[in-house]
């Protein structure tokens, strides 16, 4: 532990850079978006210490916390402006709803397969099994997602 304290006393830049890289690595593994802004804030504190701004550990932690809060709040506002529908880009199921899908296996008995969002999915027709369902190559629209099963309706 004294090695870390000695490194911080000599050059706090490396400690803050390591904190930022560690947070970014964890964010990359889990894609939660919660650790992105603390990682950026740690990087900014590292830059501050590299250019010679010495606040001491309590001051640097306070700047880190303040930058994290500000960046997180600003990102929420930006996300709302960029995505007014509120759909989370990481929520695959919600993203699929109302998307057009192409039939790749004809519907028989109300069941078939469709291609949407870069993958094939099992699908059922909304309202049961009509006499004739959409043919291969026709478009349908996704209404619901239940696990790996899509509920679709004919595209208009």
Task: Provide the token pair at 117.
Answer: 């969002």
Q: Alpha-carbon distance 142 to 156, whole Å? A: 12
Nearest to 103 by CA among 88, 86, 124: 124
Average pLDDT per block of 10 residues along the chain, 156 residues long? 71 89 92 87 94 88 95 83 63 79 88 88 80 82 88 84
CB atoms within 10 A of CB 112: 23
What pLDDT score does 127 carry? Answer: 74
CA distance 44 to 50: 10
pLDDT of residue 16: 92
pLDDT at position 147: 84
The DSSP secondary-structure symbol of 77 reads: H
Alpha-carbon distance 129 to 106, whole Å? 12
Strand partners, 101: 140
Q: For the whole model, what pTM was predicted?
A: 0.54
- Identify the pLDDT of residue 94: 77
The per-residue pLDDT for 83 is 65
* Phi, psi of 150, rounded to the nearest 5 degrees: -100, 145
* pLDDT at position 56: 85
Do the Cβ atoms of 45 and 63 come closer than 8 Å? yes
- Strands 149-154 vs 100-108: parallel, antiparallel or unpaired: unpaired
CA distance 78 to 100: 28
- CATH architecture of structural domain 92-154: Beta Barrel (2.40)
- Domain ranges in the chain are 2-82, 92-154
């Amino acid at each position: 532990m004294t090695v870390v304290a000695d490194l911080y006393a000599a050059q706090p830049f490396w400690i803050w850079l390591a904190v930022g890289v560690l947070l970014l690595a964890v964010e990359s593994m889990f894609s939660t978006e919660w650790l992105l802004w603390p990682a950026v804030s740690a990087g900014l504190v590292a830059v501050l210490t590299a250019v010679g701004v010495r606040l001491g550990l309590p001051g640097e932690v306070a700047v880190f916390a303040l930058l994290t809060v500000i960046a997180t709040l600003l990102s929420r506002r930006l996300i709302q402006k960029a995505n007014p529908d509120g759909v989370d880009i990481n929520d695959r199921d919600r993203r699929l709803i109302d998307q057009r899908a192409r039939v790749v296996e004809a519907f028989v008995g109300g069941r078939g397969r469709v291609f949407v969002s870069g993958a094939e999915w099992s699908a059922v027709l909304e309202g049961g099994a009509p006499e004739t369902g959409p043919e291969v190559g026709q478009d349908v629209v996704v209404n619901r997602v239940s696990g790996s099963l899509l509920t679709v309706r004919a595209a208009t």
